Structure 1
Amino acid sequence: MTHGTEGGGPTDRDLSRLLQNLTVESDRYAERFGAKHGLHRTDVNALALVMEAARLGDPLSPSTLARELGLSPSATTALIDRLEALGHVERTRPAGDRRRVALEVPEAAVEANRHLFTPLAIAFAQAWTGFSAEEREVVARFLKVSTETMKAVSAEAHDQARDHRSR
Structure 2
Amino acid sequence: MPRNARGSKKTDTAPPGGETASHPRMGLVHLLRSVAVDLDLQAAAFATEQGLHPTDLRALIALLDAERASESMTPGRLGTRLHLNSPATTAVIDRLEALGFLARERDPRDRRRVLLIVSQEAKTLGWHFFGPLITRVLNTMDEFDETDLDAYERVLRAIAQTLPPA
For this structure pair, what is the TM-score category when the shorter chain's length is used for normalisation? 0.7 to 0.9
Match for residue 103 of structure 2?
Answer: 90
Which of 114, 119, 144 does residue 101 from structure 1 map onto?
Answer: 114
- RMSD value over aligned CA atoms? 1.7
C-alpha distance in structure 2 between counterparts of 1:15 and 1:65, whole Å:
33
* Greater per-residue helix proportion: 1
Greater than 6 Å deviation, 4+ residue runs:
none
Match for residue 160 of structure 2?
Answer: 147
Unaligned runs of 5+ in 2: 1-19
What SS does structure 2 have at the residue aligned with 1:93?
strand
Match for residue 119 of structure 1?
Answer: 132
- Identity among equivalent positions (%) equals 35
* Greater per-residue strand proportion: 2
Match for residue 151 of structure 2?
Answer: 138
C-alpha distance in structure 1 between counterparts of 2:109 and 2:161, whole Å:
31
Q: Report the CA distance between 1:65 and its aligned residue.
A: 1.0
Distance 1:137 1:2, change over 3 A: farther
Q: Report the CA distance between 1:154 and its aligned residue.
A: 4.2
Q: Report the CA distance between 1:2 and its aligned residue.
A: 5.9
CA displacement, residues 94-116 of structure 1 (integer Å, 9 cap, x when unaligned): 11111111111122222222222
C-alpha distance in structure 1 between counterparts of 2:22 and 2:74, whole Å:
42
Which of 13, 19, 26 does residue 39 from structure 2 map onto?
Answer: 26
TM-score (norm 1): 0.81
Q: One-letter code of the match for 2:115?
A: A
Which of 70, 73, 83 does residue 86 from structure 2 map onto?
Answer: 73
What SS does structure 2 have at the residue aligned with 1:101?
strand
C-alpha distance in structure 1 between counterparts of 2:165 and 2:103, whole Å:
29
Which of 55, 58, 62 does residue 75 from structure 2 map onto?
Answer: 62
C-alpha distance in structure 1 between counterparts of 2:162 and 2:96, whole Å:
29
Match for residue 163 of structure 1?
Answer: none
C-alpha distance in structure 1 between counterparts of 2:153 and 2:51, whole Å:
32
Q: One-letter code of the match for 1:143?
A: L
Number of equivalenced pairs: 147
